[in-house]
Amino acid sequence: MSFSWTRVGAILHKELRDYRRNRFVIVTMTMVPIVFIIAPMIQLFAANATAGTAHLNTHIGLSLIYMLVIP
């Protein structure tokens, strides 16, 4: 079996066309990263100004660990 960039390009083009037609895939691909960006920001802004670094690292680190656990 030989490697062909034409075949790779055709498969990539087909996959991208399928993704464009399927709204669920597009919504999932956009909403999940947005949630992972917003969740740590909410926790950061909701923390007290007098909160220590360890406290912030714990809360923000827990929300960021979800990115590793969910997939």
Q: Which domain holds residue 35?
A: 5-69
In this structure, are residues 43 and 63 in contact, taking their beta carbons and an 8 Å threshold?
yes
Compute φ and ψ for 70, nearest 5 degrees: -65, -45
Number of CB atoms found within 10 A of residue 70's CB: 9
**Which tens digit of pLDDT belongs to each residue from 20-63?**
888 888 888 888 788 878 877 887 787 776 767 777 777 677 77
Query: Rounded to whole angstroms, what are the CA distances from 21 to 25, 26, 45?
Result: 9, 9, 38
**Which tens digit of pLDDT belongs to each residue from 14-25?**
988 988 888 888
Between 13 and 45, name the one with better pLDDT. Answer: 13
Question: Is 9 a residue whose pLDDT tops 90?
Answer: yes
Q: Cα separation of 44 and 48, whole Å?
A: 9
Domain tally for the chain? Answer: 1
Q: Cα separation of 13 and 35, whole Å?
A: 28
pLDDT at residue 1, as a whole number: 61
Reported as a pLDDT band with limits 50, 70 and 90, residue 71 is: low
